[in-house]
Amino acid sequence: MKGPNRKPRPVRSDRTRAVRGAAEHTSGPLSTPIVRSATFAFESLDDMNAAQDLGRDGAYYQRVGHPTLRACEKHLAALDGAEDALLFSSGAAAIGSVFLAHLKSGDHVIALEQCYGGTHDLLNWGAGHFGWSVDFVDARAPETWAQAFRPNTRLLHIESPTNPLTVIVDIAEAAKLAHARGALLSIDNTFASPVGQHAIALGADVVEYSATKSIGGHGDLLAGAVTGSSAVIDLVWKVRKVFGPIPDPELAWQIERSLKTLPLRVEAQNANALELATRLARHAGVRQVSYPGLASHPGHAIAVRQMTHGFGGVVAIDVAGGAEAARATIEALELVHHAPSLGGIESLASLPAFTSHIQLGAAGRAKAGISEGLIRLSVGIEDVDDLWQDLEQALAKAALRV
């Protein structure tokens, strides 16, 4: 029903919102048309100015606003429970744009020792280039974070579960801490995904995604996204407009298409991950398993409270035999690929000390608790018994080699 008597829309479930997005249209194409045009033509200067004034909602010039990108952004915002969203050409560009939007020379930012290695690099590099200052705090000791705040702290930037150790941060508590000190809470929600954790509802002000991971979900695209209030997205949009890290319309269409199956993929990956983590925890060749779905995980109770559809697709394992055994294990895998990414339908294994966290150096990794024997397993949607068989045979071969 249209018009003033239209009933308020019910809050729909993640699966419905993933398929339908904002679901404003009831006629026309079901799939967003790919408008393959970087620029748009106008009858008059007034018309052009009007389109320009609409900014990201307008169809004027692709770097400013584009209809195919906008459709995907609205779809993602609806799924994430956010007022607005923006697409980027990579997750790194999304995170970098949030920092550039909120940090000026002289400002201070607090981030986790355990956050993604590229984010460490970005924050340290930005401190030298743009004159902000950064302190890293231990995700495992939130009671120490309050001391890190200064009068000029603008952002607390977190991840949960962290990469790769799956440390769980209480997002609502982190938001309270940041807000009490006049700072915003920024969260890289890549590991949980927009359906695995509703970060905005938990109190986050700005949320970033590497859409390369579960949003894209098939290992075939590189992209990023930011979600938040309209006011926050205004600031981030300005950065995107001036620096230009924007995907093309085909990529935006591919991301929107992938959003529709995100809950199904995430649920299947999370169920497989829980089963493998449970079996690995009983395996003699494995020293320790970090997975928030296990009751033995220190963050399990918080994860139960704040994660939805399971506990994520990443399982971190420390194998008995250390670095050499870890290397032998991933080289012996036959079904699981040895590759540096996560969140997709194909299971992947990597050694974070040599991939995602190589930039931290040995001392930085020791501080963050990332050993050279740590294997990060990103669990896909294959049959769980086939995955288990592969892991078992690889662990057995590794035990013979070391």
Shortest distance in whole angstroms from residue 208 CB to ligand PLP: 7
End-to-end alpha-carbon separation of the chain, Å?
69
CB of 33 to ligand PLP, least distance (A): 26
CB of 119 to ligand PLP, least distance (A): 7
CB of 277 to ligand PLP, least distance (A): 19
The answer to whether residue 60 is catalytic is: no
The sign of the dihedral angle between the CA atoms of 184, 192, 367, 350 is negative
CB of 258 to ligand PLP, least distance (A): 14
Active-site entry in 140, 154, 213, 327: 213
Nearer to ligand PLP, 92 or 246 (CB): 92
Which residue's CB atom is positioned nearest to ligand PLP? 91
Query: d(Cα 313, Cα 311) in Å, to the nearest integer?
Result: 7
Q: Specify the residue, 67 or 247, whose C-beta has the smaller distance to ligand PLP.
A: 247
Read off the tokens for 311.
Answer: 């506990």
Nearer to ligand PLP, 110 or 398 (CB): 110
Q: What CA–CA distance (Å, rounded) separates 92 from 316? A: 23
Q: Closer to ligand PLP at the Cβ: 116 or 311?
A: 116
Least distance between ligand PLP and beta carbon 114 (Å) = 10
As a whole number of angstroms, the distance between CA 252 and CA 71 comes to 9
State the catalytic residue, choosing from 60, 116, 209, 291. Answer: 116
Indicate the residue among 224 and 263 with the shorter CB distance to ligand PLP. 224
Active site residue 213: yes
Work out the number of other CB atoms within 10 angstroms of the CB of residue 338: 16
The CB-based long-range contact list for 206-209 (8 Å cut-off, 24+ gap) reads 206/98, 206/102, 206/232, 206/236, 207/80, 207/82, 208/91, 208/94, 208/95, 208/98, 209/91, 209/94
Cβ–Cβ under 8 Å, residues 170 and 142: yes
- Judge whether 121 counts as a catalytic residue: no
Active site residue 80: no
Catalytic residue among 63, 257, 260, 397: 63
CB of 381 to ligand PLP, least distance (A): 19
Residues that bind ligand PLP (CB under 6 A): 90-92, 116, 118, 159, 163, 188, 190-191, 210, 212, 222, 224, 356
Radius of gyration of the chain (CA): 22
- Which of residues 131 and 244 has its CB atom nearest to ligand PLP in the complex? 244
- Compare residues 303 and 328 and give the one whose CB is closer to ligand PLP: 303
DSSP class per residue in 224-289 = EEEEE-HHHHHHHHHHHHHH-----HHHHHHHHHHHTTHHHHHHHHHHHHHHHHHHHHT-TTEEEE
Sign for the pseudo-dihedral over CA of 62, 64, 68, 69: positive
DSSP string over 302-355: HHHHH--SSS-SEEEEEETTHHHHHHHHHHH-SSSEE-S--SSSS-EEE-GGGT
Residue 80, classed as helix, strand or coil, is: helix
Could you give the CA distance from residue 337 to residue 382 in angstroms, rounded to a whole number? 12
Catalytic residue list = 63, 116, 188, 213
